[in-house]
Structure 1
Amino acid sequence: MSSAPRRGVVSGVLVVLVVASVIATVLGYGKVVFNAWFIGVCLLILFGLLAMFYLLIRGPKTKAAAQAELIGELPAVPADPGEELRGPDTGLYVGSTVAPSWQDRVVVGDISDRANATITEFASGVLIARQGASDIWIPRESITEVRTARGLAGKVMSADGLLVIRWVLPTGTAIDSGLRADDKTIYPGWVDAFAGQHDSGQGTQE
């Protein structure tokens, strides 16, 4: 049944209910009519709340399932990442998105969990060590760009408020991972350190 006939059926049912309520009230059953409408409205509100909670719980799970093949397994932190070249710098890890979008949040595993973190550059890559969540290892060869941005993964800051690393997963998917540093004066050093990295062709932030 198309949406137009459904709307017609719903409207017809409402008209019948209203007419029946008026007739029942005239016949002296006003209290019964009031109670019936009150219970009906309460049930409708309850149904709406349950549906909303279901969507809130089910939505991320559905998105995670859809992203599973796209994201795949994240690189493991190597036992020996090599010489420490920069950092550790502290801040808030805000999340990761599928590039080039700044809003298409990656929800596979716990990579989307915001957490206080430190970011450190090693000879073989960049480590984002998060408190209360798994560490994120970004191999140097997978990094295509380091830049500053205003927003990422639903977190909006002032201009150049976030440090964002674009990197390519083993599946070939490019993602952006962002950190709001406690000391934003570190941003130029990070950006300059990777200024020669080859861009992945995924485009700029949308």
Structure 2
Amino acid sequence: MTATHLLTSSALPQLAADEKSAQVTDWGARIGWVVGILLFIALVYWLMREGWKWRGTLQGDLPELPDAPSEPGATKLELTGRYHGSTTAGQWLDRIVAHGLGTRSRVELTLTEAGLDVVRPGARDFFIPKEALREARLDKGIAGKVLAEGGLLIVTWAHGDKLIDSGFRSDHAAEQADWVETLNNMIDNTEIDGTGAGIQSTTETEGAR
């Protein structure tokens, strides 16, 4: 056996050890990257959760949501679809999260003589009295959710000292135009009291700013 063969044979174990060491080092780096990414995702989620809670605290002056009356009167319209959230009227990114209004969910809407009954499986139901209704329209976005033009049914209503836009999407989008017409016909603007008119005026002024 030549000296070259002996040198090569003696170097092989060292090369194998170096290769194994390099592989272990690579796995350690990969694990470190994965852990770092997971920690970053957890931090972002925590910040979003804290921001949500803080927004809810700031909106703590919003009154409790009314329940549907025991005798709501005759049913005018019904639909099933999705509830996409609520915002300050005219400010489609100013999400309202108090009292569960920020939770997206399935929805069953029933328009009666008494008002609009919003039933949300898995989330909190609420009722909008006829006297609180202000406007209905078709729009494309609310609370960060954007659809095609006219894809959302937006209902504007007064609650406490605030005007609220709530966004709904019917499973059958073609029927949303009928909802807009029926709701707006139902809303008697002459019955809006001074407080309601004041709220609307203030909201429009803030939106103009």
Shorter-chain TM-score above 0.5: yes
Per the alignment, do residues 53 and 89 of structure 1 end up closer, same or farther by CA in structure 2, a change over 3 Å counting? closer
Residue pair 2:75, 2:112 contacting (<8 A) in 1 also? yes
Partner Cα distance (2:38, 2:142) in 1: 35
Question: Cα offset for 1:47?
Answer: 7.5
Corresponding residue for 2:165? Answer: 176
CA spacing shift, 1:155–1:49, aligned 2, 3 Å: closer
Name the CA distance, whole Å, in 2 between partners of 1:78 and 1:124.
Answer: 8
Q: Distance in 1 between matches of 2:42 and 2:107?
A: 36
Query: Closer, same or farther in 2 for the Cα pair 1:168/1:52, shift >3 Å?
Result: same
2:94 is matched with 104
| Unmatched tracts of structure 2, length 5 or more | 1-28, 190-196
The equivalent position to 2:147 in structure 1, one of 157, 160, 173, is 157
Shift in CA distance, 158/65, structure 1 to aligned 2, threshold 3 Å: same
Aligned to 1:124: 114
User: SS state of the match for residue 167, structure 1?
Assistant: strand
Q: What RMSD in Å do the two structures reach over aligned CA positions?
A: 2.6
Change in Cα spacing, 1:158 to 1:64, as seen in structure 2 (3 Å) is: same
CA positional deviation for 1:195 = 2.6
Match of 1:54 among 46, 69, 72: 46
Whole-Å separation in 2 of the counterparts to 1:147 and 1:49: 38
Give the C-alpha shift of residue 129 in structure 1.
1.0
Farther off after superposition, 188-197 or 97-106:
188-197
Structure 1: which 4+ aligned runs deviate by more than 4 Å?
41-51
Distance 2:41 2:178 in 1: 49
Is the 8 Å Cα contact of residues 93 and 142 (structure 2) preserved in structure 1?
yes
Answering whether residue 67 of structure 2 is matched by residue 79 of structure 1, we say no
Taking structure 1 as reference, are residues 149 and 48 closer, same or farther at Cα in structure 2, changes over 3 Å only?
same
What runs of 5+ residues in structure 1 fail to find an aligned partner? Answer: 1-37
Change (3 A) 1:58 1:191: same
Partner of 1:113: 103
Opposite residue 72 of structure 1, the aligned amino acid is P
**Which TM-score applies when normalising by structure 2?**
0.70
- Per residue, is there more helix in 1 or in 2? 2
Does 1:203 pair with 2:193? Answer: no
Offset at 1:203?
3.2
Q: Is the radius of gyration larger for structure 1 or structure 2?
A: 2
| Aligned equivalents of 1:180, 1:73: Cα separation in 2 | 24
1:147 aligns with 137
**Would you say the 8 A contact 2:82–2:169 is kept in 1?**
yes
**SS of 1:109 mapped into structure 2:** helix
